[in-house]
Amino acid sequence: MRGPKMTTLRLEGIAKDFSDGAQMRRVLFPVTTEFEPGELTVLAGPSGSGKTTLLSIIGLVLRPSEGRMFFGDKEITSLSENEAARMRLQRYGFVFQQPMLIEGLSVLENTLLAFAVQGRRPPKGARQKAVKILNRLGLGESLHMQPRLLSGGMKQRASIARALIKDPAILLCDEPTSALDAESGQTVMRLLKRIAIEEGRVVVVVSHDARVFPYADRLVKIENGQIVSDTREQTQTEEVSQS
Amino acid sequence: MRTLTAFRMVVHDRSSTAGALLGVVAIVFLVGQQLSLLFGLLNYMSVLVDHSNADVWVMSGNIRNADAGNLISGRYIDRIVGLPEVKWAEPVLIGSGLFRTADGSYESVRVIGTRRPRLSLGPWQFFKADERALLDLESVTVDKLDLAKLGNPVLNQVTEIGHRRVRVRAITEGARGFQGTIVFASIDKVKEIARTPPGRYSAILVRLNRAPDSRIMARLRAALPKCSVYTTKELSYLTKKYYIANTGIGSSFGFSTVIAVLIGVVIISLTMYTSVLGRARDFAVMRAIGGRRRDIAVVVACEALIIAGVGVFVGFLMLVTLLNFTRGSAIPSFLPLFVSPALAIGAILVSFIGSSIALRVALKADPASVFH
Ligand SMILES: Nc1ncnc2c1ncn2[C@@H]1O[C@H](COP(=O)(O)OP(=O)(O)OP(=O)(O)O)[C@@H](O)[C@H]1O
Ligand SMILES: [Mg+2]
């Protein structure tokens, strides 16, 4: 295993209420669980069930109404806004439903921005590393292209490169395949799977796309803000890595 | 990288960049042009005082500007030169008369009479011939800018001012006053033209042995209790202040400058605002991948700064072109040295003010929104 950060992410009674105008509505009921490194967790469930809400809380972009979250021994629910930003910068990688690359910056610059968004220069070797990752993702030819010139699949791979360049301990993906055709979707999922296993990261993928489920080491199903099933699927791992 | 991002965004969002640039350019150019006109006019107001080559002006009591004073007695000269600090004192006589042009029509002119041989308050810059021309009693000068108005007189042409025979012997440059056409002549000729009583003058110009200080000024004032005694600088300031306050020039320039700035701010605000709105998702992404509010602010501020910088450059380029074009024309234009940096800094500040709404929108970008 290459990933240096064999750290577990632990949720203790994480819940979320949203006010819809007049009254508060609980969209996520207390969740207590752990996400292990080296494991690809798929978070599945019908629309509106609270998947994105949970992922946003895990990703430190949304504060829970209740509960605590730990990264290793460190409590991360009580971080200040700037500390949370720093945590996201250093520990997290995000892949969104839409690639969300910044127009005007080239693919390479978009990737490097993940290092430098707080203004510090990218560390030495960051550029080579970015080139290497982009090459590995089949974007070697497109380093200096504008995002709008890329296909949807290429953009999504570029956004994965942006998420990976910092060697994040936690990789969070919200419907990474929904904007892609079947084949690109498979490629992206294979890639995420490999990253989880080979590099020992916590990988959480939100999806209601059944084609994603075979890649899951663990399948968590949410309905109406509650976890209704949580299964580890050992056997499928081998099948997938052979394909 | 935040600067680079800002730069890339500015380059990429061409239409909004062009719009915001237009705002900055409008401010720099319009305000600069207004200011150059204002300072040009200010120069006109005190042109004679500023070029008088004297340290102190003595005029009749209670004057409010250099152009309106009663005649004073020439005997004051003796009192003035009696002071040890005084190097010389010279009378000048300023009158007005009608200049007969070649086609027989008349133009009103101010005739500045200066005593030979020192010719203090004489012309300071010549287009044709030189100050020796004024050593002759009937000589007058006309200014290059007034040639057409005066029917294009040629050198040595004989004409009349106030029914007195004069001969145009030199053409000056830059002798243009706020009150119109300036003609230089010998003091005796002006006496004839203006029919002033003998021994009375418009002002006495004094040159000191050293720079005027309050002690010398106090002595001069004590010696001349019925006169206004001002240093050249004081009189210049007094005159400008008088005209600005009493002609509405000040408020009219202030008004148009404020309008120009307002229009610029509105253009900058609107375009920056729409540009940032279009980038809201990008700012949310930047927040999500670890950017703080501060980092977003830096990016927006850099965008504003880049646009302001380029806008100031382009604006000044246009302004300089205009000033070059109007130099030596009848349009007053003058930009003192301190104005350019002040204008540049002002334009940059205004750009920041204009981008403040955009900044507020950008700072609202919610990192959680990237998951929707
Ligand atoms: N900012 C918010 N304010 C109020 N209600 C919200 C907010 N965000 C989400 N919700 C509500 O929370 C519930 C869960 O939303 P969430 O986005 O987590 O669902 P999801 O499982 O991701 O659905 P989908 O599969 O359609 O993306 C929904 O009923 C939604 O209306
Ligand atoms: Mg969702």
Mean pLDDT of chain A: 87
Confidence of residue A114 (pLDDT cuts 50, 70, 90): confident
Check whether residue B274 and residue B157 sit in a common domain: no
Between B91 and B135, name the one with better pLDDT: B91
Interface pTM (ipTM) of the complex?
A: 0.90
Percent of chain A with pLDDT over 70: 94
Residue A106 has what pLDDT?
95
Q: Which ligand is nearest to the CA of A225?
A: 1
Of the candidates A84, A81, A89, A96, the one whose C-alpha atom is nearest the C-alpha of residue A122 is A89
| Ligand 2 ion: Cβ-proximal residues, 5 Å cutoff | A 52
Q: In the predicted model, what is the mean pLDDT of residues A88-98?
A: 91
Question: Has residue B220 been placed in a domain?
Answer: no
How many beta-carbon pairs under 8 angstroms link A with B? Answer: 96
Number of domains in chain B: 2
Question: What is the CB-side half-sphere exposure of residue B163 using CA atoms within 13 A?
Answer: 2
Final residue of a structural domain among B201, B218, B237: B201
Check whether residue B96 and residue B190 sit in a common domain: yes
Mark yes or no for CB contact A117/B1 under 8 Å.
yes
Indicate which atom in ligand 1 lies nearest the CA of residue A206.
Answer: 22
Q: In the predicted model, what is the mean pLDDT of residues B116-143?
A: 86
Distance from CA of B308 to the nearest CA of A (A): 20
For B158-206, the pLDDT digits (tens) are 999 999 999 999 999 888 888 789 999 999 999 999 999 999 999 999 9
Q: Which of A14, A20, A26, A27 to mutate for ligand 1's pocket (most ligand atoms within 8 Å of CB)?
A: A27
- Asked if omega into A123 is within 30° of 0 (cis), the reply is no
Mark yes or no for CB contact B12/A113 under 8 Å.
no
Q: CB of B120 within 8 A of CB of B92? A: yes
Q: Which amino acid is at B358?
A: A
Question: Has residue B238 been placed in a domain?
Answer: no
Which residues of B fall below an 8 Å CB-CB distance to A? 1-2, 4-5, 8-9, 11-13, 281-282, 285-295, 298, 366-368, 370-372
- Token couple for A142: 């497109």
For A137-175, the pLDDT digits (tens) are 889 999 999 999 998 888 988 998 999 888 899 999 998
Q: Which of B8, B366, B367 minimises the CB distance to A105?
A: B8
Check whether residue B365 and residue B254 sit in a common domain: yes
Q: CB of B152 within 8 A of CB of B80? A: no
Distance from CA of A115 to the nearest CA of B (A): 9
Check pLDDT > 70 for residue A237: no
Of the candidates A226, A125, A212, the one whose C-alpha atom is nearest the C-alpha of residue A175 is A212
Contacts of residue B372 in chain A, CB cutoff 8 Å? 52
Check whether residue B83 and residue B145 sit in a common domain: yes
Check whether residue B84 and residue B142 sit in a common domain: yes
Question: Has residue B301 been placed in a domain?
Answer: yes
Confidence of residue A81 (pLDDT cuts 50, 70, 90): very high
Q: In the predicted model, what is the mean pLDDT of residues B332-351?
A: 88
Q: Mutating which of A117, A127, A173, A204 best tests the B interface, going by the most B Cβ atoms within 10 A?
A: A117
Question: Has residue B357 been placed in a domain?
Answer: yes
Domain of B347 in residue numbering reads as 2-44+248-371
Between A21 and A61, name the one with better pLDDT: A61
Q: CB of B370 within 8 A of CB of A162? A: no
Residue B44 has what pLDDT?
87
Confidence of residue A97 (pLDDT cuts 50, 70, 90): confident
Check whether residue B193 and residue B256 sit in a common domain: no
Check whether residue B82 and residue B38 sit in a common domain: no
Check whether residue B104 and residue B167 sit in a common domain: yes
Q: How close is the Cα of A215 to the center of ligand 1, in Å? A: 25
Q: Which of A49, A57, A178 to mutate for ligand 1's pocket (most ligand atoms within 8 Å of CB)?
A: A49
- Asked if omega into A176 is within 30° of 0 (cis), the reply is no
For A213-229, the pLDDT digits (tens) are 999 999 999 999 999 99
CA distances from A152 to A97, A141, A165, A194, B303 (A): 11, 16, 20, 21, 29
Indicate which atom in ligand 1 lies nearest the CA of residue A20.
Answer: 4
Of the candidates A127, A151, A126, the one whose C-alpha atom is nearest the C-alpha of residue A139 is A151
Percent of chain B with pLDDT over 70: 100
Distance from CA of A33 to the nearest CA of B (A): 22
Q: Which ligand is nearest to the CA of A45?
A: 1
Question: Has residue B294 been placed in a domain?
Answer: yes
The count of residues in chain B is 372
Mark yes or no for CB contact A116/B1 under 8 Å.
yes
pTM, whole model, 2 decimals?
Answer: 0.82
Residue A218 has what pLDDT?
94
Q: Which residues pair with A170 in a beta bridge?
A: A92, A202
From CA B354, how far away is CA A53, in angstroms rounded?
Answer: 36
Q: Tell me which residue has its CA closest to atom 19 in ligand 1.
A: A48
Q: How close is the Cα of A200 to the center of ligand 2, in Å? A: 25
Check whether residue B263 and residue B360 sit in a common domain: yes
Q: In the predicted model, what is the mean pLDDT of residues B2-24?
A: 91
Question: Has residue B60 been placed in a domain?
Answer: no
Q: Which residue has the tokens 């040295």?
A: B337
Indicate which atom in ligand 1 lies nearest the CA of residue A222.
Answer: 21
Q: In the predicted model, what is the mean pLDDT of residues B102-127?
A: 88
Check pLDDT > 60 for residue B134: yes
From CA B182, how far away is CA B180, in angstroms rounded?
Answer: 6
Q: Which amino acid is at B32?
A: G
Check pLDDT > 70 for residue A236: no
Check pLDDT > 60 for residue A2: no
Helices (H), B13-166: 14-26, 32-45, 47-50, 76-81
Of the candidates B36, B29, B35, the one whose C-alpha atom is nearest the C-alpha of residue B313 is B29
Mark yes or no for CB contact B12/A104 under 8 Å.
yes
Check whether residue B256 and residue B150 sit in a common domain: no
From CA B314, how far away is CA B309, in angstroms rounded?
Answer: 9
Check whether residue B185 and residue B303 sit in a common domain: no
Taking the CB of residue B331, how many other CB atoms lie within 10 A of it?
Answer: 14
Question: Has residue B89 been placed in a domain?
Answer: yes
Check pLDDT > 70 for residue A4: no
Contacts of residue B368 in chain A, CB cutoff 8 Å? 56, 61-62
Give the phi and the psi of residue B194 in degrees, each rounded to 5.
-90, -5
Identify the residues whose C-beta falls under 6 Å from ligand 1: A 18, 20, 27, 45, 47-53, 208
Distance from CA of B33 to the nearest CA of A (A): 36
Final residue of a structural domain among B138, B173, B201: B201
Q: Which of B9, B13, B291 minimises the CB distance to A117?
A: B291
Check whether residue B11 and residue B97 sit in a common domain: no
Q: In the predicted model, what is the mean pLDDT of residues B4-27?
A: 91
Contacts of residue A88 in chain B, CB cutoff 8 Å? 288-290, 367
Check pLDDT > 60 for residue B75: yes
